[in-house]
Structure 1
């Protein structure tokens, strides 16, 4: 992975949203018998603090005021059986915890990985001095085009008195077209199209000498089962600690079941359990973006965090106000990389579909 040397940026993970009741078939394909629903998922926000004092947010979660979602979306969520719980607005949470909304100042900004309702939050709760930064082609699609709909977009309320800025990704970082946001290598914005128009990821440098990074994946994928295993990160013969129990013994040894299950469904026996079941902009680009993330995920110095992956709720995961920057020295990946296998195993167990031997 070719990334120039650079400065670091502080990363803090904020988990204020719980989304439950989402059937796997609405998000993942092909279906797996006995694996019908994964645990409730977050909609993560990330507070990024630059050494210059500038503060940024990557993704804003879900609006606490449900009327901001619109009548159509609220009805659809109820009809789908989805339950969306929001503890409080991101701006209120930050203010209570010593980060006033007006400290996300004119020279600092908020990013939305894309414009869906569960990422754009309620930007109106931040002062107009906070710019809204979006990915390539977002303005053409949502401001000047026909992209707005009940599930997301850029509205007049979003832009009221506020600067809307679209990033230009004209360098390359790893496999991605990118933008060096501060010009010092601390934060790269990654053009990652497919899931939605203008979708972006971000790469934050968390330590230097040696370099480590956190990759914010947005909705490029939704669960670890879409990313792993791969040729870059094969499934271990035994997973320790056991992702079901959290204990070191006995380990979980699911490899044969995964290979057989993938083979029966026409997938790579050594590849991920699922593919996305839908893409708003382009399935081809979605799969290409996932491949790029998988390449970076295979580097032991990169921690990949997806916006809705429940693995972030592992007890070892530091959440705001704690910093995530020392994730590697704490060995966090050994807990998170394969925790999603526990989601699969728990579902098989719940539905009495466990393989005879694990």
Structure 2
């Protein structure tokens, strides 16, 4: 399976939803970087299940055990390996899914790809549970970036048609990012959260689910990081963002809305600021031109589909009898994964930013 990512900062994620443990191995980290365990746990807690009515009731402590790579809380330059124990599995909830794949889930495609030998329990290696080690790796990267003046933060921009205030694409205050990257269900406008919660509860009571969009900003990245064509900053960020289960779309800056603008509207005018830096008066480019960072905030959005595991009866097939059947999914599932996905998107952005700097010789 393709569960490794990165060229200079390399991560490899292992385990499955119902295996004894899950974890991550990180290679290429610079030596001498102090890593706060408290900071790691804070990010893990934002993603952890069972702490909010909008999430699955499965409870996992998500307390990572770092096996190597840190000595007295400082990176050694050797690979950093961490494991997270799985403690709340209900494998029996998935016994019938090997032959009756869930619509919208990877059960069918995994069965074809791996000839029926894949781990079906909890979705196995396709499960959103694997975002826990991704958040752990991103939390390590976040601390290394912060020492270089680079911050990342995200908010739930939309759930079921309810929208939050978007980031100012030109000036994203560090105070705002720090507040958001410490929140569970981060939003800029508190009123939007309650309206979103109502939509999620409405879907849950209907035995259904809803999706949404997470908007993320990275500030402090220097101009000149990245490459043209296939090695661009957008390519790099997208390659890890699409590794997050349920992500179906990624856009940078104005994104798809730029297609309806004229060049005179979409182009970002340049100017020198009071510090002699080249800036732009707007940021439709999302901080990237020609695959290379401009020095403006790097802003993107990731679209998440609704959770495919729902209790409503759906049409499926029996892969053994070759007959059409009905399926109602049991077990514990999020009616909306978007609030818990926000720290995952931030983690991916931190890892992509660290890799971008390393590739560009700026780390």
State the TM-score, normalizing by the size of structure 1: 0.26
State the TM-score, normalizing by the size of structure 2: 0.26
Larger radius of gyration: 2
